[in-house]
Amino acid sequence: MTFLEMLLGASRHNRSLLCVGLDPDPARIPAQLRAAPDPVYAFCTAIVEATADLVCAFKPNSAFFEALGTRGIETLHRVIAAVPRDIPVILDAKRGDIGSTAAAYAYAAFEVLGAHAITLSPYLGGDALAPFLSYADRGCLLLCKTSNPGSVDLQDLPLADGRPLYLEVARRAQHDWNGNRNVGLVAGATHPGVLPSLRAICPELPLLVPGVGAQGGDLALAVRGAVDQHGERAIINASRSILYASAGGDFAEAARGEARRLRDAIGGALGEVGVRDERLKIRDENSASNL
């Protein structure tokens, strides 16, 4: 099964476009978990268990695990393995290098860690992406218009025809690099006006949209701009606002509550523009027929 098939399957089954980012900060792990043999693993798996039926994907951020040393890499591998088999895992690693180095990064992400997709920097060009793209069943999500304020420094630079650089990244993603139909883009919710233009260029590519939680992106605008014509293929990510919804013993319950709130808010934004998940339509029709 390809990444896109997994993504659409999880999204439709859970009626969700929500992705939960796993960015474990040891200093913020609840006190009752700190005596566990592996507190980060205990924390992440508790979040996964609490939210798995509310999401379309999970996105562990490699940096938070790498910062823990060799044990952190082992923990990352175990966390990915603990995610239910029908939910895709996006490794947020933002890799970008050439030749044998890129091939080694791809092997580590897909073969060793078992991720279903990875975030990549396209700055080095197509040959640097090729080792990742050759895994036809895995997703390659290219940084296009990122959520940080400094994205304007390079990503907005005008080309000779006046278009910003990020639109050329989108064009190449759609027309030059998507031979295996496994490419997607990363575009921040903090730039909601950009999302419709990216969707117009890339009508079928999945769009990973960070920035709706702690970064303050407008959720409704992000959803409306990112979804395709069927109300799908948008991956709306939230991390800290879910992970740290509570610092107490109810952290998993609080995370579930925040994830449900966001999942439902995304559904509300879809409803405002007349987009409904087909499964939800069927459920509503069946409910009406039983009245």
Q: What is the pLDDT of residue 271?
A: 84
Please indicate, yes or no, whether the overall pTM of this predicted structure exceeds 0.85: yes
Give the SS3 label for residue 90: strand
Which residue ranges of the chain lie beneath pLDDT 50? Answer: 276-291
Close Cβ partners of 96 (under 8 Å, ≥ 6 residues apart): 102, 120, 121, 122, 123, 124, 128
What number of other Cβ atoms are within 10 A of residue 136's Cβ?
11
Q: How far apart are CA 25 and CA 27, in angstroms?
A: 5
Q: What is the pLDDT of residue 192?
A: 84
| pLDDT 10s digits, 192-230 | 899 999 999 999 999 999 988 666 778 999 999 999 999
Which residues form the catalytic set? 94
Buried-exposed string 155-186: b where 16+ CB fall within 10 A, e elsewhere: beeeeeeeebbbbbbbebbbeebbeeebbbbb
Long-range CB pairs of 10-14 (<8 Å, 24+ gap) are: 10/55, 10/56, 10/57, 10/86, 10/87, 10/88, 11/56, 11/232, 11/277, 12/232, 12/277, 12/278, 12/279, 13/86, 13/279, 14/53, 14/54, 14/55, 14/56, 14/263
Q: What is the pLDDT of residue 214?
A: 63
Q: How far apart are CA 60 and CA 92, in angstroms?
A: 6
As a whole number of angstroms, the longest Cα–Cα distance in the chain is 63
According to DSSP, the residues that pair with 164 across neighbouring strands are 158
Q: What is the pLDDT of residue 105?
A: 98
Which domains does the chain possess? 3-289 (3.20.20.70)
- For residue 168, which of 205, 202, 215 has the smallest C-alpha distance? 202
Q: How far apart are CA 142 and CA 95, in angstroms?
A: 10
